Amino acid sequence: MGRHRGYRRPVVALLAVALALGACTAPPATVEADRVQGLYNLFLIAAAAVFGVVAGLIGWNIVRYRARGDESLPVQTNTNLALELLWWALPTLLVIGLFVASAAVLNTNDAKHPGAPLRVKVEGFQWQWRFTYLDSKVQLTGIPGSPPELVLPVGTTVDFELVSDDVIHSFFIPSFLVKRDTIPGVDNHLELTINQQGTYTGQCAEFCGLLHDQMLFSIRAVSASEFAAWLASQRPSP
Amino acid sequence: MTTAELERGTPRPAVAGTRTGIVDYLTTTDHKRIGLLYLFTGLGFFLLSGALSLVMRAELTFPDLQFLDESTYNQLFTMHGTGMIFFFASPVVFGLANYFIPLQIGAPDVAFPRLNALTYWLALAGGLIAFSGFLVGGAAAFGWTGYAPLSGAIFSPGNGSNLWIIGLAFAGTSGILGAINFVATIFSMRAPGMSMFRMPVFTWNMLVTSLLIMLTFPVLTGALAMLFIDRTLGGHFFDPAAGGSAILWQHLFWFFGHPEVYILILPFFGVVTEIIPVFSGKPVFGYRGFIFATMLIGVLSYSVWAHHMFATGVVSNLFFAITSLLIAIPTGVKFFNWIATMWRGRVRFQTPMLFCIGFLFMFLIGGLTGPFLASPAIDYDVTDTYFVVAHFHYVLFGGSVFAAFAALYFWLPKMTGRMLNEPLGVTHFWLTLAGMNLTFFPMHLLGLEGMPRRIADYPASHGDWTLLNVIITGGSAILAISVVVLAWNVIASVFMGRGAVAPDDPWGGYSLEWATSSPPPHHNFTSLPPIRSERPVFDARMTAIASRPVGGEPPVPTDPSADQEMVRG
Amino acid sequence: MAEELRFFLRTAAYTAVIGILYWIVSYEWAGSLMLAFVAVATGLVVVVFFLVVRATRGPLTDNGGGTLRRAGLAVARLVGFAEPRGPAGAEPLAAGLEPIPVGSTWPLVAAAAASMIGLGLVYGPWLSLPGVALAAITVWGWITQLDTRR
């Protein structure tokens, strides 16, 4: 084990973290997701800073204080009250800061706005999804191998009503940086506002049995006028 | 027969001066033999559960199902998790605790030796029963977390799931009885002079762990009983249609499940805190602060459980966010204690210390992804994805397993009387470090890109998922090779007798297990040094050096790490 | 107060407080009750310990003292509480080595009985009832086993 190797591990690890920084999450596509992305970046910076300090100290120990042949016993220091109080206090302050940021984003994102313009019922069942536009009664049902595509307007608050017909599933859209479980016997709600047009993949994220891996769907976000036209075309003719 | 008289090549008895036939092991009540049984059983389940994961990795390397069907895959990941948590990590913890708690406190055995043996046989039976599902038409296939209603009779018919429940109930009972034994031993059998605050940190951590086990395993056993009643006796505890609650299972399971992960890491914090001071030539820094941090973790762990349930939308996310972020503090503080222990020491890098340093880096990474999961808004994105899989493998593999390997290299000489081969140990370390990071680091990225966990297959349309999965499988192959290196080292050094004979104290240790032969005699000690601090063996060594005649050499610490070369033939 | 007692007291105090906080915040039954039970269980240990520790301050043969002390002595005898250890600093093993019991088949048989009962819950009373019988035999054998010393 060469002496220089003590430097290698922390450096490699820091590079890996930087790589993760670059790759990041899926690009956020909702108003709420933008806030989550900001919070995530804050946490990442804090984590990287802590990692740098702690890994650096460990690396320093490995390099500077390695035993070099026959030596006398080192000074048997085993306590330092000021130091210990400091390293209890600093993490506590950091944690409080992270909590305050978390609470702010959580309360804003989870806030419920009664009378949301668009209500969609999301039913999870083994092993696909059924989407129902509650006001217009348009319904889309997926079958394994043929995922349904939910069309939604950009800029409108959507209120998803999440229910399950059998076991627990989870409604997960990576680009929206959010998931919410569908639980039998529970009426869950998830509100969000898409702010980017595009097609986003979604998938069940709570293990639900044999074909859990095939419980896919997608969301296509279009302009409000396109959405109105599409919805009209889906309604059964009178 | 002194250690010097035993030749290389002769297998050593597990307990000095006794025979070691099979009947001895079947009827033993000696904590040292029981400890060895636990350790080797745990390692056996490590190999079995690890093999399952290698099969999973082979399937996941490329999109589309290659050679598994979904049903088999779902059984594999369920039993991989179940086997690793309940039948590898727990038995290793109990094995080390069994062997070393009595030695470290200067006691001749545990408080209830027959009960001790019973806990081992129950643990073994539990593992065999849970895995026997594979032989009766399909093992449990609902994840080690067993969420209702999926785990109910309608959605998971078949005896494999029932056998899983029984197997876990056995593991739980075994754990509770063992924990009672350890607490009784620690409270009532310490040698004179061994006050509570002179106990080694490993023993302290096992005390806190035992309390956690005693208070949370009954919750698991109760939940399992309720599930069994639902499945086989017409119960409706978890059936919403009949007035039950699906979410109730999650509350019960995670009230046990979160303390469980602290049960799996606290003993290993203790191991690392035994090894780092010895290999730094200094005492542990902040002994009392360290123990206080451990107790704080133990106590806080009762109040964080529903951070596993943020995405359900039916728990108080703010409450659990606070408690979960808070528990990061005492965990993080330990890092500074460990760093300060090494600071201005004389750090030696034999294999036990290599694995401790690996532990420090790996658990740091795993620990730093924890706060992301403790923040509900971020958790909504990353929970139930490979981000979580990365997090817990860093803390469980990088934490518990690395520390378990450190414990193995540190303490196997004491337990078997043979040193393990040092070059092979160094090779094992580097292979494990490389394999572990290649396997689990990319999983963070996969999770952030939206790959959920527990999926047998993923679409080819996610191009970068494939690349990351290929890297991960490559890493797991390296891990497989590293385990072969370890197995060869243990088999050759211990069972084939090629390892050097281990002296009483090969490392320059501090605690009482180093004050007796390797392995210890039947009653553990023929004599005990006076106990005046938390490092009685160190004190005795310094006293012996200081009482040399005047004009001799200045005091030097013994550096007993002799070259360990494998003797051929 | 002995450290052993404080060890349980901390858990009892924390879970009691956090249990009340949790109930106020969530009105969720399962978690609140589980926290309450942890507080009660550890609190019970604290009470028993307290009685025993206070009661055994003096020589164990002295049966005087108030009701509380006599209750503590009774519990101490019931759990087999030994004479207080020698003063700190007394040489260990000064009293000589004690014989340690070695070996017993009953743990293995007990595990076999438990396995029969457990598997019998899955496969039927034809397995679990013999298991119960074997368990009864095991309990008897365990309790009446004499020390086998080498």
Q: CA of B114 to nearest chain C CA: how many angstroms apart?
A: 6
In chain B, how many domains are there? Answer: 1
Identify the CA nearest to B297 among candidates B384, B207, B400: B207
Is the pLDDT at B560 greater than 80, yes or no?
A: no
For a pLDDT cut of 70, what percent of chain A falls above it? 88
Q: Write out chain C residues lying below 8 Å of B191, CB-based.
A: 92-93
| Residues 291-320 (B) with a CB less than 8 A from some CB of C | 295, 298-300, 302-303, 305-306, 315-316, 318-319
Is the pLDDT at C97 greater than 70, yes or no?
A: no
> Which residues is A128 bridged to in the sheet?
A125
Touching partners of A (3+ C-beta pairs < 8 Å): B
Is the pLDDT at A9 greater than 90, yes or no?
A: no
Quick one: closest CA in B to A49, which residue?
A: B368
Q: State whether residue B522 sits within 8 Å of chain C by CB.
A: yes
Quick one: closest CA in C to B291, which residue?
A: C7
Q: Write out chain A residues lying below 8 Å of B340, CB-based.
A: 80, 83
Q: Is residue B567 part of a domain?
A: no
Quick one: closest CA in C to B162, which residue?
A: C122
Give the residue-averaged pLDDT of B331-357: 96
Give the residue-averaged pLDDT of C95-115: 82
Highest mean pLDDT among B14-18, B25-29, B469-473, B543-547: B469-473
Give the residue-averaged pLDDT of C118-123: 96
| Residues 28-57 (C) with a CB less than 8 A from some CB of B | 28, 30-31, 34-35, 38, 41-42
CB contact under 8 A, A95 and B329: yes
CATH number of the domain at B235, please: 1.20.210.10
Give the span between the Cα atoms of B433 and A55, in whole angstroms.
Answer: 16
Indicate the range of B285-289, B312-316, B443-447, B562-566 predicted with least confidence. Answer: B562-566
Q: What is the tens place of the pLDDT at every residue in B46-72?
A: 999 999 999 999 999 999 999 999 999
Is the pLDDT at A207 greater than 60, yes or no?
A: yes
- Under DSSP, the state recorded for A56 is H
Q: What is the tens place of the pLDDT at every residue in A22-31?
A: 445 678 999 9
Q: What integer pLDDT is reported at residue B22 of this predicted model? A: 87
Residue appearing with tokens 């078949």: B158
CB contact under 8 A, A79 and B285: yes
Q: What integer pLDDT is reported at residue B561 of this predicted model? A: 40
Give the span between the Cα atoms of B370 and B380, in whole angstroms.
Answer: 14
Dihedral angle at the C-alpha atoms of B95, B101, B103, B107, nearest 10 degrees? -130
Q: Write out chain A residues lying below 8 Å of B328, CB-based.
A: 91, 95
Q: What is the tens place of the pLDDT at every residue in B145-193?
A: 999 999 999 999 999 999 999 999 999 999 999 999 999 999 989 999 9
Average pLDDT, chain B: 92
| Residues 72-131 (B) with a CB less than 8 A from some CB of C | 106, 108-109, 113-118, 120-122, 124-125, 129
If you write DSSP's letter for every residue of B101-122 in order, what string do you get? HHHHHT-SS-S-HHHHHHHHHH
Q: What is the tens place of the pLDDT at every residue in B245-296?
A: 999 999 999 999 999 999 999 999 999 999 999 999 999 999 999 999 999 9
Q: Which residues contact B185 (CB under 8 A, 6 or more apart)?
A: B101, B102, B105, B107, B110, B111
Q: Write out chain B residues lying below 8 Å of C28, CB-based.
A: 251, 315-316
Contact pairs from chain A to chain B, CB under 8 Å: 269
Q: What is the tens place of the pLDDT at every residue in C1-44?
A: 578 888 899 999 999 999 999 999 999 999 999 999 999 999 99
Give the residue-averaged pLDDT of B375-391: 97
| Residues 67-86 (C) with a CB less than 8 A from some CB of B | 81-82, 85-86
pTM of the model: 0.91
CB contact under 8 A, A1 and B348: no
Q: Which amino acid is at B553?
A: E
Q: Write out chain A residues lying below 8 Å of B313, CB-based.
A: 162, 180-181, 186, 188-190
Q: CA of B191 to nearest chain C CA: how many angstroms apart?
A: 6
CB contact under 8 A, A61 and B339: yes
Q: What integer pLDDT is reported at residue B371 of this predicted model? A: 96
Residue C93 — pLDDT band, cuts 50, 70, 90? Answer: low
Q: What is the tens place of the pLDDT at every residue in A126-178?
A: 999 999 999 999 999 999 889 999 999 999 999 999 999 899 999 999 999 99
Helix then strand then coil, in percent of chain C rounded to 5, is 65, 0, 35
Q: Write out chain C residues lying below 8 Å of B26, CB-based.
A: 105, 108
Helix and strand numbers, DSSP H then E, in chain C: 5, 0
**Using CB atoms, which residue from C14, C91, C107 is nearest to B118?**
C107
**Using CB atoms, which residue from B149, B283, B333 is nearest to A78?**
B283
Q: What integer pLDDT is reported at residue A69 of this predicted model? A: 79
**Which tokens belong to C23?**
């109930």
Q: What integer pLDDT is reported at residue C78 of this predicted model? A: 63
Q: Which amino acid is at B472?
A: I
Q: Is residue B559 part of a domain?
A: no
Give the residue-averaged pLDDT of C78-90: 52
* CATH code for the domain defined by A118-233: 2.60.40.420
For a pLDDT cut of 90, what percent of chain B falls above it? 89
CB contact under 8 A, C35 and B303: yes
Is the pLDDT at B341 greater than 60, yes or no?
A: yes
Quick one: closest CA in C to B106, which residue?
A: C92
Quick one: closest CA in B to A2, which residue?
A: B349
Domain with B356, as residue range(s), is 3-546
Q: Is residue B72 part of a domain?
A: yes
Neighbour count for residue B17 (Cβ, 10 Å): 10
Phi, psi dihedrals of residue A189, rounded to the nearest 5°: -130, 145
Q: Where are the domains of chain A?
A: 2-65+81-110, 118-233
For a pLDDT cut of 90, what percent of chain A falls above it? 77
| Sign of the dihedral defined by the CA atoms of residues C32, C34, C35, C40, in that order | positive
Q: What integer pLDDT is reported at residue A59 of this predicted model? A: 96
| Strands A178-182 vs A169-173: parallel, antiparallel or unpaired | antiparallel
Quick one: closest CA in B to C89, which residue?
A: B193
Quick one: closest CA in C to B211, which residue?
A: C8
Q: Write out chain C residues lying below 8 Å of B162, CB-based.
A: 121-122
CB contact under 8 A, A179 and B384: yes
Average pLDDT, chain C: 81
Q: Is residue B561 part of a domain?
A: no
Residue B21 — pLDDT band, cuts 50, 70, 90? Answer: confident
**Which tokens belong to A126?**
């083994």
Q: CA of B357 to nearest chain A CA: how many angstroms apart?
A: 8
**Using CB atoms, which residue from A76, A92, A205 is nearest to B452?**
A205
| Contact assessment for residue C95 and residue B523, using Cβ atoms and an 8 Å cutoff | no
Give the residue-averaged pLDDT of C77-99: 55
CB contact under 8 A, C100 and B109: yes
Contact pairs from chain B to chain C, CB under 8 Å: 164
If you write DSSP's letter for every residue of B488-512 in order, what string do you get? HHHIIIIIS--SPBP-S-SS---SG
**Which tokens belong to B355?**
């694995």
- Under DSSP, the state recorded for A142 is -
Is the pLDDT at C66 greater than 90, yes or no?
A: no
Q: Write out chain B residues lying below 8 Å of A3, CB-based.
A: none
**Using CB atoms, which residue from B302, B319, B523 is nearest to C15?**
B302
Residue C53 — pLDDT band, cuts 50, 70, 90? Answer: confident
Q: Is residue B301 part of a domain?
A: yes
Touching partners of C (3+ C-beta pairs < 8 Å): B
Q: What integer pLDDT is reported at residue A27 of this predicted model? A: 87
Q: State whether residue C111 sits within 8 Å of chain B by CB.
A: yes
Indicate the range of A67-71, A72-76, B453-457 predicted with least confidence. Answer: A67-71
Q: Which residues contact A186 (CB under 8 A, 6 or more apart)?
A: A163, B240, B246, B247, B312, B313, B314
Average pLDDT, chain A: 89
| Residues 21-40 (B) with a CB less than 8 A from some CB of C | 24, 26-30
Q: What is the ipTM of this complex?
A: 0.91
Is the pLDDT at A236 greater than 80, yes or no?
A: no
CB contact under 8 A, B319 and C97: no
Q: What integer pLDDT is reported at residue B545 of this predicted model? A: 85
Give the residue-averaged pLDDT of C75-84: 58
Q: What is the tens place of the pLDDT at every residue in B186-238?
A: 998 999 999 999 999 999 999 999 999 999 999 999 999 999 999 999 999 99
- Give the SS3 label for residue B190: coil
Quick one: closest CA in B to C40, which residue?
A: B215
Indicate the range of A47-61, B16-30, B136-150, C87-101 predicted with least confidence. Answer: C87-101
Q: What is the tens place of the pLDDT at every residue in B295-336?
A: 999 999 999 999 999 999 999 999 999 999 999 999 999 999
